[in-house]
Amino acid sequence: MLVIVAPGQGSQSPGFLSPWLELPGARAQLEALSETADLDLVAHGTVSDAETIKDTAVAQPLIVGAGLLTLRALLGDAPDSMAPVAATAGHSVGELTAAAAAGVLTTDEAMTLVRERGRGMAEAAALTPTGMSAVLGGDPDEVVATLERHGLTPANMNGAGQVVAAGTMEQLAALTDDPPARARVIPLQVAGAFHTHHMQPAVERLARHAADITPRDPGTVLVSNADGQPVASGTDALARLVNQVSNPVRWDLTMETFSSMGVTGLIELAPAGTLVGLAKRGLKGVQTVALKTPDDLEAARQLVAEHGKENPL
């Protein structure tokens, strides 16, 4: 059983799309996505520096655009292209990529929403100095208790011994000085406390734009990172995409669902690597491919051939 997953913010790196644009039709596709996003994704995926693509308003459309580009390179764009895929899911902003893959959103709708999501979260992050830190290791209950003591939110519960804490810079500094036992705290290079109440202004902005969209029910199982459960309807999926901005990401529960489904193969869309790393620790025995460059397409297609099946819906 095969799943396709899409990464979130922080997975991008300078020039990561350059080799992909050598594929036939890829540059034209990315230019079309750029027009909807009102952003030059070709430049940002090839020549922009690390500081430029760290900007939330740039990073989020770039990541979703890259996911859509590499999904098409892998499976094509025929109406039944997702037939071998049992389920799809995305981490944070990657859930927009997954929603488009599942047929809930069109590519234009996904790019419109990610444009507004990125801009809204960047503006919300500018209101108060906030950030995020990864907490690696430690007893899970003690980690959560320590975050609560410091007034922090466990914004990403990623499984495999990784929790991402979010809050004000003062709260994060206190966590660094007083970490959970047997845990390491690593500050992350992000612009704000994503997936917390600090992002409420972005939720309101995204909700206004989502009101103009009529979503479709998933044609491929879409596993929500809010609670790790399959989403029954397009209306519910769209509501979750909006509310997700200020709610924690439960990738641990998403992986638990994959395990209970009997998933045997997992492909991560570009910019790939993070979710495959979590899968290797949290989904033992599942074969994985990270689509980092077109050189990975052959291995990914082999995984589709070996683990793909007709869509269960």
Residues designated catalytic: 92, 195
The strand order across the sheet containing 183-187 reads: 153-159, 162-168, 130-137, 183-187
| CA distance readout (Å), 307 to 81, 104, 262, 302, 303 | 15, 24, 11, 8, 6
Do the strands 153-159 and 162-168 form a parallel or antiparallel pair, or are they unpaired?
antiparallel
Which has the closest alpha carbon to 191: 127, 255, 107?
A: 127
Is the peptide bond between 84 and the residue preceding it cis, with omega within 30 degrees of 0?
no
Residue 183: phi, psi to the nearest 5? -130, 150
Rounded distance, CA 188 to CA 177, Å? 16
Those residues with Cβ within 8 angstroms of residue 40's Cβ, 6 or more apart along the chain or in another chain: 34
Which has the closest alpha carbon to 90: 220, 180, 281, 199?
A: 220
